[in-house]
Amino acid sequence: MITASIVGATGFTGMVLTDLLDRHPEVRLDALTSVSYAGRTVPDLFPQLRVRGAYVEYAAERVADSEYVFVCYPHAAAHPVVAELLDAGHKVVDLSADFRLSEPDAYPRWYGFEHPRVDLLGEAVYGIPEVYRDAVAHARLVANPGCFPTVSLLAALPLLRLGSVGRVIVDAKSGVSGAGRSPSRKTHFCTVHDDFRAYGELGHRHTSEMLQEMGAAAGRSLPVSFTPHLLPVDRGILATVYCIPGVVAATGAVAPLLSQDELEEMYVSAYEGEPFVEVRRDVPSLGEVQHTNFCRMAVRVDADAGLYKIVGVIDNLVKGASGQAVQNMNIMAGIPETMGLGARA
């Protein structure tokens, strides 16, 4: 049995992680920490969960018995705790953004702080198993990807690896749980219900992860335009990803479009054997993946307009956060990757 704790367990990602680890057949759930709710019980906050324990204040000794610690703090607040936990010998899956970007310069630019632990940036593995499974298996520290990057990268990377895409546009639509559990005007029911809007229409922080990983896949820096929108839905992200052919270095000409069959075969083959990625003929809807760790997608060649469209869906709290975190832990621990992730979460 693996012993695991959650630091900062009372947000939405903490809630789903609590439920997943509680049901995981190989995990013993140890401490659940909370700054604001120490002393309150889980059913008090989340009556729909079957976990019955209480939250405690974080302290290093509270989690001392846990081999794995999941950190669900906001960015900039997570890295000191992560560093402390690593020093104490724990393995850490960090659900914040604090170790997702490998370039130290990216932190002041995208997150507004100087990163004090450049050494750990080099060590952290960006935890998208479909790309970095082997590195995850040997990591002490996994930086769990953002929700928007997870679905966008899974949708775009097979095409980008061809080297012939010149530009990516990610038009993403997210459920409200992505905005977190703290009440605010923008998450008030009367603001969101029967409504729809774009937000962070320039410079959303998740763009940084897309630039890093899409550039890595393409072998060169790519322009990526990302626009998130807010759906009147609780959970899930649908990303419509447009990949526009560019000039291929070798030929100096714009690459010809693949046919629909070629595109589909390339994607099916890229994800063959992946337990949580499904390439389908029909365009998937959010409902197909809500409460699951699956990413589903369909691919289309828009021959008239000369571009590719990939429509991908995930549950932002599962494959986009806590489910992927468990998937990473499973890989790190050398147990079956799908363990504890089969039921609805």
Chain residues binding a second copy by CB under 8 A are 12, 23, 47-48, 167, 169, 171, 173, 176-177, 181, 183-185, 187-199, 201-203, 223-225, 227, 229, 231-234, 236, 238, 240, 242, 244, 280, 282-291, 298, 300, 302, 304-307, 309, 311, 343-345
Alpha carbon distance 30, 62 (integer Å): 9
Active site residue 190: no
Minimum Å gap between C-beta 171 and a second copy is: 4
Minimum Å gap between C-beta 136 and a second copy is: 25
Minimum Å gap between C-beta 69 and a second copy is: 26
Cβ burial of 278 (10 Å; 0-12, 13-18, 19+) is: middle
Pick the closer one to a second copy by CB: 113 or 196. Answer: 196
Minimum Å gap between C-beta 241 and a second copy is: 10
- φ, ψ for residue 168, nearest 5 deg: -125, 135
Question: HSE (CB half, 13 Å, CA atoms) of 265?
Answer: 5
Alpha carbon distance 199, 76 (integer Å): 22
CA dihedral sign of residues 45, 238, 147, 326: positive
Pick the closer one to a second copy by CB: 184 or 251. Answer: 184
Over 233-288, what HEC string results? CCCCEEEEEEEEECECCCCCCECCCCCHHHHHHHHHHHCCCCCCEEECCCCCCHHH
Minimum Å gap between C-beta 1 and a second copy is: 19
Alpha carbon distance 343, 138 (integer Å): 27
Pick the closer one to a second copy by CB: 277 or 286. Answer: 286
Pick the closer one to a second copy by CB: 119 or 304. Answer: 304
Q: Which of 72, 147, 243, 295 is an active site residue?
A: 147
Pick the closer one to a second copy by CB: 190 or 250. Answer: 190
- Which of 134, 125, 55, 50 minimizes the C-alpha distance to 92? 125
Catalytic residue positions, numbered:
147
